[in-house]
């Protein structure tokens, strides 16, 4: 099965049927080649390939019977305008433009097209939304909410400790194997975006939680029905002894947050935000945080500095307000 077929199968949506238009047939053929390269050479996930296929087919629909080689900058700008008129959020428009840019760059690099209509075309400016994060007290309450007396509870506590201790993505957590954990060196091997391997450090609380889970929790879960071959190598197991899914981890985090009484939507990525924010608040260098998070570009990490700056500004403003109130009360008492 090709990457293009896989992208269609994973969504449950049938691939675009053959149509009389030769232009569409040619576009679909180029799309299939592009997805195969992205899935093979760049090792992108099925989810990412699905998004690429959806975005590009939407553009093909806009073009109708026009050939890709005949598309110019005005056509691209007309497409962007149509997206805005349809009420699409600026972030979604920017993503589609980015997909088009990489697609046309591929066609140009492979000498499949002579011109690139995306050169000089800018997408809409993305709105920078500051990530939320938990306080230190909330993190401690969240982790303590996991039941430490059952195999599942020991597993859940180890998951929460690892999410916060290393700022991992949920996909990285479920992908950890027992062989990749070295508790003596306090290191864990994880595989990030594009299956890039990196070594992360963890603190003593996470070491203790994982060690106890390995001794008292995981062996109990391993006694379930025999999982598919290789899944029993996973660090975090489900009740059947197989690798825990990302959806299961999301539910575990949400359940623990409810038990902890944290009145907000808590998800695994929120712990990643919290990890980065707390590091920067503690004085860590931005480049160090970038490496720990596995960001390819420091600009991605830069958003967390705005969070800490905002928190500092709020603290200063609250202090100044307090001083102003004290001065006002002092003047009243003198009067």
Of the listed 169, 218, 243, 278, which one is catalytic? 169
**DSSP letter assigned to residue 235:** S
Sign of the CA dihedral running 43, 47, 53, 56: negative
Of the listed 33, 95, 193, 208, which one is catalytic? 193
User: Diameter of the chain by CA atoms?
Assistant: 90
104 is annotated as an active-site residue: no
**75 phi and psi, to 5 degrees?**
-65, -40
Angle, alpha carbons 154-157-159 (nearest 5°): 110
169 is annotated as an active-site residue: yes
CB atoms within 10 A of CB 137: 8
Contacts of 122 (CB under 8 A, 6+ apart): 97
Contacts of 156 (CB under 8 A, 6+ apart): 146, 147, 252, 256
Of the listed 108, 254, 267, 269, which one is catalytic? 269
CB atoms within 10 A of CB 45: 14
Of the listed 24, 101, 272, 278, which one is catalytic? 272
50 is annotated as an active-site residue: no
278 is annotated as an active-site residue: no
108 is annotated as an active-site residue: no
What tokens does 292 get? 């720990």
CA neighbor of 139 nearest in space, from 2, 15, 276? 276
Strand arrangement of the beta sheet that strand 181-182 belongs to: 181-182, 187-191, 197-201
**Distance linking the first and last C-alpha atoms of the chain:** 85
52 is annotated as an active-site residue: no
Q: Which residues are catalytic?
A: 169, 193, 269, 272, 295, 304
């Amino acid at each position: 099965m090709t990457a293009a077929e896989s992208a269609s199968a994973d969504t449950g949506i049938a691939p675009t049927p053959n149509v009389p238009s030769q232009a569409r047939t040619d576009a679909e053929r180029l799309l299939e080649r592009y997805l195969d390269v992205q899935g093979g050479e760049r090792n992108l996930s099925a989810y990412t390939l699905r998004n690429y296929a959806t975005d590009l087919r939407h553009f093909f629909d806009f073009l109708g019977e026009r050939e890709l080689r005949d598309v110019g900058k005005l056509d691209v700008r007309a497409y962007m305008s149509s997206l805005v008129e349809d009420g699409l959020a600026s972030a979604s428009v920017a993503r589609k433009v980015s997909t088009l840019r990489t697609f046309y760059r591929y066609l140009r690099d492979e000498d499949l097209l002579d011109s690139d209509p995306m050169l000089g075309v800018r997408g809409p400016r993305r709105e920078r939304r500051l990530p939320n994060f938990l306080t230190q007290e909330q993190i401690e309450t969240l982790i303590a909410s996991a039941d430490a007396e059952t195999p599942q509870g020991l597993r859940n506590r180890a998951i929460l400790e690892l999410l916060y201790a290393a700022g991992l993505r949920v996909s990285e957590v479920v992908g950890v194997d027992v062989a990749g954990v070295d508790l003596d060196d306090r290191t864990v091997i994880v595989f990030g975006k594009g299956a890039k391997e990196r070594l992360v450090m963890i603190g003593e609380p996470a070491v203790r939680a994982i060690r106890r889970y390995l001794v008292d929790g995981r062996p109990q879960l391993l006694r379930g029905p025999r999982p598919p071959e290789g899944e029993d190598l996973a660090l975090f197991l489900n009740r059947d002894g197989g690798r825990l899914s990302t959806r299961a981890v999301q539910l575990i985090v949400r359940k623990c947050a409810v038990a902890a009484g944290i009145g907000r939507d808590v998800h695994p990525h929120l712990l990643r935000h919290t990890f980065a924010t707390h590091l920067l608040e503690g004085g860590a260098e931005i480049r160090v945080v970038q490496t720990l998070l596995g960001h390819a570009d420091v600009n991605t990490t830069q958003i967390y500095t705005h969070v800490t700056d905002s928190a500092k500004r709020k603290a200063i403003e609250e202090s100044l307000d307090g001083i102003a109130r004290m001065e006002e009360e002092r003047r009243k008492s003198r009067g």
